[in-house]
Amino acid sequence: MSVNLSKGQGISLEKSDGGSLTAVRMGLGWRSAPRRGLFGRRTSEIDLDASAVLFAEKKPIDVVFFQHLTSDDGAVRHTGDNLVGGAGKGGDDEAILVDLARVPVHIDQIVFTVNSFTGQTFAEVQDAFCRLVDETTGEELARYTLTGGGDYTAQVMSKVHRVGGGWQMTAIGEPSVGRTFQDLVPAILPHL
């Protein structure tokens, strides 16, 4: 059962069998801008970026985004920057894979964010969503539909954090404004 969430809603999730997560993927998908006529490449492209920020006791330690695709410890991997979007059919255009077993012991929270690098607000982007998938089963843990999300260019999506010996996900869904994850740090901090 995936949980559909809208802006500003938060919900705490625990896997319903009581177990904890071992590998999650954050997926981000959107539909590319329509191409028109001659020199169609000049159509204003839409570039959304997914990022993951690793925190240890509320201090940012590492970040995985389009310029740093793998965290130094190798536990968090970005599959690569997509600058234009996809078909809008629900497939992930950018993905961040987290191998929770390999996350360094001092990292206790990983926050996932989405930014519109080219500046379009979520109201202008078609079929945009971000979601969190449990990689061991392929099941969707949470999904946000970004499209129609109003006059925002960024969203602090969710975080996975240590609980006892395992990991848990909490959806945040805090809309914000910013070009890259750096602009979002003030928006992230209250959620840690």
Interaction between residue 182 and another protein (CB under 8 A): no
Interaction between residue 191 and another protein (CB under 8 A): no
Of the candidate residues 52, 97, 111, 154, the single one contacting another protein (CB under 8 A): 97
CB of 164 to another protein, least distance (A): 10
Interaction between residue 74 and another protein (CB under 8 A): yes
Q: Which of residues 128-147 bind another protein (CB under 8 A)?
A: 133, 135-140, 144-145, 147
The sign of the torsion formed by the CA atoms of 56, 115, 68, 139 equals positive
CB of 172 to another protein, least distance (A): 13
Number of residues counted as binding another protein (CB under 8 A): 55
